[in-house]
Amino acid sequence: MSAPAAIEFESASYAVNGRAILSDVTLRVEPGETVVLLGRSGAGKSTALRMVNGLVQPSAGRVLVNGVATTAQDSVRLKRACGYVIQEIGLFPHLTVGQNVGLVPRLEGWPPPRIAERTGELLRQVGLDPTEYQRRYPRDLSGGQRQRVAIARALAADPAILLFDEPFGALDPITRGEMQRQFLELRRTLHKTALFVTHDVREALRLATRIALFDSGRVVLVSKPGELKRSDNPQARDLLAAAGEMECGAGAQPAESPPHSGT
């Protein structure tokens, strides 16, 4: 018998007042993969993500985490088992950086010395010197620094699964690139399973091991990044063309050469 997927959507659907938000989503995420949920705004990506940690329950079908349906798991344990990073960052303003990072271990009953050691270790992993930053408050940090703290907090209790909901969307382009490089380094060293929501095609191509393309609440394509760039799928072609990532072999037309001037 094969090992269960880290995350699996089995014909999962979600509707609000009869309006379909997600329809018949089927997707399997293997341990250690980074699967990016890509699509336009309103395509259902974030709703699908929130099904994994139980913030949203499917109206039909089911979502499994490590082979067990989310509806059969203790909701608090499920949420703590999935590190969660959102665009709004969500740090508690009245807690210091160190207290924010150590929040879940403290709720889990870790002894203070272990929490302090883990907090320092994680701040160093995300590029922040604990001696300089752990006693600061979120208001004292830049947007990029706050997002680094949010990632450290998501990693604090060593969850096997990480959920990222457009975590870098509000950052300036330079900081965003730095955070993407940090994400790739953490993936290389920690080997976590990650589900990552974005509408940025270039970000998806850079970060994903596989991409699930959403359109109108459905998964219309699942592919590796290189395969997406060569896809004939019309939604993929529209997104790639808008980002300037279209390959000529995928239906894009090469630009015509300007007329020869004769000079």
Higher per-residue confidence, 51 vs 2: 51
Q: How confident is the prediction for the chain on average, in pLDDT?
A: 89
At residue 251 the predicted structure's pLDDT band, cuts being 50, 70 and 90, is very low
Q: Which amino acid does the sequence have at 171?
A: L
State the pLDDT at residue 88.
67
State the pLDDT at residue 253.
42
* Contact between residue 255 and residue 213 where contact means Cβ atoms under 8 Å apart: no
State the pLDDT at residue 123.
95
State the pLDDT at residue 220.
96
Where does the chain have alpha helices with state H? 45-52, 75-80, 97-101, 103-107, 112-125, 130-133, 143-155, 173-190, 201-207, 225-229, 234-242
Structure token pair of residue 234: 């019309």
Q: What is the pTM of this model?
A: 0.87
At residue 256 the predicted structure's pLDDT band, cuts being 50, 70 and 90, is very low
Asked if the model's pLDDT at residue 259 lies above 90, the reply is: no
At residue 227 the predicted structure's pLDDT band, cuts being 50, 70 and 90, is very high
**Degrees, nearest 5: CA angle 80-85-88:** 130
Residue 33's φ and ψ, nearest 5 degrees, are -80, 155
Q: Domain extents for the chain?
A: 92-157
